């Protein structure tokens, strides 16, 4: 066979579908080069400017795969509406967090230029994780995201808490990777394929390998999202990490680790519908109750929000228990808006921590409206959105989950959801009362905020309301995403 004939038989990949990832890869190596080349304040400004320019270019490039959806790289990489939606929100949330990075690390004298290219590589892992059904690609992307967060969590000079949190995250994260790998191996033995779509549609006689593989695979992701009883790393990692990194883990990280679960949902409807509903429903109930009850007794607000993140993993899993179209839409909508609310709430803490003598304990929030009224109001918006008060996005998300549970007649899980939401009222309202109805009891210095930080808080607070009052702003993305994974 001649060279021309050989090349003619090879299907060349459509690189248009990989354009955002390629730009991210170039951005990461560019930031790496700049970090090695420049020094001092010039390096800080340059790294931040190039990062913003790169991520803006990534946003523009997302229109290309949106207009040209489909598989590439021999069906190992899928760029459908779901992938584009996840990448859009992940990039926007990353840009919102970037506004706080330089000032935060300068205040704590803990600036590392490595932060910027590690963040770009981590976001690249998020993009790949959102675009694949292939078990090997999922493994590589999961490792890329996980290693990025391990290092970013520990990247805090002089903090033993960050090192301890990163070590716990590393140990349990390594366990989750191993479990997911074992699951992938069993599924490959069952179907002889690495594509989840082919594995779950394969009509094999012995389902034991498939069931065992799915169990291990899903437990691996349950560790990553902080579901009970696999949550032990999350409170320490969230509390010990630099707070902008915590904002990334709670928003972009959770978004990334839930997407493979969302892609699996339509594939388990026929074979494992009842088992899936019961298993995921029980884990969701335990996660909701545990997260909210433990958050209720926390004195440290950052740790309280970490347990709130566990509870919200439970709400998201409750939507995942309904492996039908409405459940998928509820899960994706709530996942996107939770990323906005969670990022905003942790970014408020990232700003307050720069005040002289500030600590994230409850009494320090007393009378915050007198000292920082705009920050207190933004934090109020995030808190009531996380609680689920109308007309915020949190209310719309929880209402969608409740509707999905009702249509599927999962009344017991709907009751647990209502109960756990009622429990969460205790700590959210307590914080609001301290900020707006109490006098200051601890004197601290006022942090100086930059214009970019104020804009970031204003936009995330506005989005936390608008996406609930006008869900149609992103509903077309939700419908297109769910239609794409259902094969329509």
- Beta-bridged to residue 134, according to DSSP, are 195
The answer to the question of residue 2 being in a domain is no
Tokens of 372: 């920082």
- Beta-bridged to residue 71, according to DSSP, are 78
Q: What's the number of CA atoms in the CB half-sphere (13 Å) around residue 94? A: 32
User: From CA 203, how far away is CA 168, in angstroms rounded?
Assistant: 40
How many other C-beta atoms are found inside a 10 Å radius of the C-beta of residue 205? 5
User: From CA 478, how far away is CA 92, in angstroms rounded?
Assistant: 17
The answer to the question of residue 465 being in a domain is yes
The answer to the question of residue 163 being in a domain is yes
The answer to the question of residue 315 being in a domain is yes
**Confidence (pTM):** 0.93
pLDDT at 295: 94
DSSP run (H or E) holding 72: strand 70-72
Task: List, in sequence order, the alpha helices (H) in 411-450.
Answer: 411-437
Give the Å distances, CA to CA, from 336 to 4, 100, 145, 171, 340.
47, 21, 18, 28, 7
Tokens of 360: 């994230």
User: From CA 41, how far away is CA 171, in angstroms rounded?
Assistant: 36
Please provide residue 446's backbone torsions phi and psi, each rounded to the nearest 5 degrees: -85, 130
The answer to the question of residue 5 being in a domain is no
User: From CA 155, how far away is CA 153, in angstroms rounded?
Assistant: 6
User: From CA 411, how far away is CA 388, in angstroms rounded?
Assistant: 19
Following DSSP, what letter does each residue of 235-283 receive, concatenated? HHHHHHS-HHHHHHIIIIIHHHHHHHHHHHGGGSHHHHHHHHHHHHHHH
Range of the domain at 412: 16-485
Residues 6+ apart with CB under 8 A from 303: 235, 238, 239, 360
The answer to the question of residue 4 being in a domain is no
The answer to the question of residue 3 being in a domain is no
pLDDT at 66: 67
User: From CA 144, how far away is CA 162, in angstroms rounded?
Assistant: 20
Residues 6+ apart with CB under 8 A from 472: none
Note whether 257 and 221 are within 8 A (CB). Answer: yes
Domain total of the chain = 1
Give the Å distances, CA to CA, from 158 to 181, 354, 415.
35, 16, 45
Tokens of 305: 């929000």
The segments of the chain whose pLDDT lies below 50 read: 1, 3-9
| Nearest of 123, 149, 155, 126 to residue 55 by alpha carbon | 123
Residues 6+ apart with CB under 8 A from 325: 482, 486
The answer to the question of residue 306 being in a domain is yes
Please provide residue 133's backbone torsions phi and psi, each rounded to the nearest 5 degrees: -105, -5
User: From CA 463, how far away is CA 467, in angstroms rounded?
Assistant: 6
Note whether 36 and 55 are within 8 A (CB). Answer: no
DSSP class of residue 465 equals H
| Nearest of 338, 332, 310 to residue 319 by alpha carbon | 332
Tokens of 42: 């010039």
Residues 6+ apart with CB under 8 A from 275: none
Give the 3-state secondary structure of residue 105: helix
User: From CA 95, how far away is CA 357, in angstroms rounded?
Assistant: 28
Tokens of 454: 């104020």
pLDDT at 467: 94
């Amino acid at each position: 066979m001649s060279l021309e004939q050989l090349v003619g038989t090879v299907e060349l990949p459509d690189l248009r579908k990989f354009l955002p990832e390629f730009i991210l890869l170039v951005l990461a190596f560019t930031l790496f080069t700049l970090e090695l080349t420049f020094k001092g304040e010039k390096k800080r400004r340059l790294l931040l400017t190039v990062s913003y320019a790169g991520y803006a270019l990534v946003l523009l490039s997302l229109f290309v795969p949106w207009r040209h959806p489909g598989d590439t790289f021999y069906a190992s990489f899928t760029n459908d509406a779901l992938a584009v939606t996840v990448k859009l929100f992940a990039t926007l949330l990353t840009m919102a967090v970037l506004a706080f990075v330089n000032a935060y690390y300068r205040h704590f004298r803990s600036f590392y230029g490595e932060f910027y290219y590690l963040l770009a590589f981590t976001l690249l892992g998020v993009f790949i994780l959102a675009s694949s059904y292939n078990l090997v690609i999922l493994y590589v992307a999961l490792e890329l995201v996980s290693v990025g967060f391990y290092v970013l969590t520990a990247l805090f000079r002089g903090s033993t808490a960050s090192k301890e949190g990163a070590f716990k995250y590393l140990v349990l994260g390594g366990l989750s990777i191993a479990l997911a790998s074992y699951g992938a191996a069993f599924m490959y033995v069952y179907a002889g394929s690495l594509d989840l779509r082919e594995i779950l549609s394969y009509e094999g006689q012995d389902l034991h390998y498939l069931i065992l593989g799915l169990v291990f695979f899903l437990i691996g992701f349950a560790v990553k999202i902080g579901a009970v009883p696999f949550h032990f790393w999350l409170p320490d990692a969230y509390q010990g990490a630099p707070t902008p990194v915590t904002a990334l883990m709670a928003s972009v990280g959770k978004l990334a680790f839930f997407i493979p679960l969302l892609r699996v949902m339509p594939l388990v409807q026929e074979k494992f519908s009842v088992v899936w509903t019961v298993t995921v429903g029980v884990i969701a109930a335990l996660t909701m109750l545990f997260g909210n009850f433990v958050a209720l007794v926390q004195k440290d607000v950052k740790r309280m929000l970490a347990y709130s993140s566990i509870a919200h993993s439970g709400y998201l899993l409750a939507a995942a228990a309904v492996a039908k179209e409405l459940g998928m839409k509820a899960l994706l909508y709530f996942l996107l808006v939770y990323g906005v609310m969670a990022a905003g709430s942790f970014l408020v803490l990232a700003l307050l921590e720069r005040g002289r003598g500030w600590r994230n304990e409850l009494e320090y929030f007393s009378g915050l409206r007198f000292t920082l009224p705009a920050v207190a109001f933004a934090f109020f918006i995030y808190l009531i959105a996380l609680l689920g008060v109308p007309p915020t996005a949190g209310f719309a998300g929880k209402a969608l989950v409740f509707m999905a549970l009702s249509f599927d007649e999962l009344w017991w899980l709907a009751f647990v959801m209502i109960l756990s939401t009622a429990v969460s009222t205790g700590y959210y309202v307590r914080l609001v009362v301290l900020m707006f109805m109490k006098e200051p009891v601890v004197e601290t210095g006022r942090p100086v905020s930059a214009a970019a930080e104020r804009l970031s808080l204003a936009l995330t607070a506005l989005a936390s309301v608008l996406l609930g009052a006008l869900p149609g702003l992103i509903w077309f993305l939700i419908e297109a995403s769910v239609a794409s994974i259902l094969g329509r």
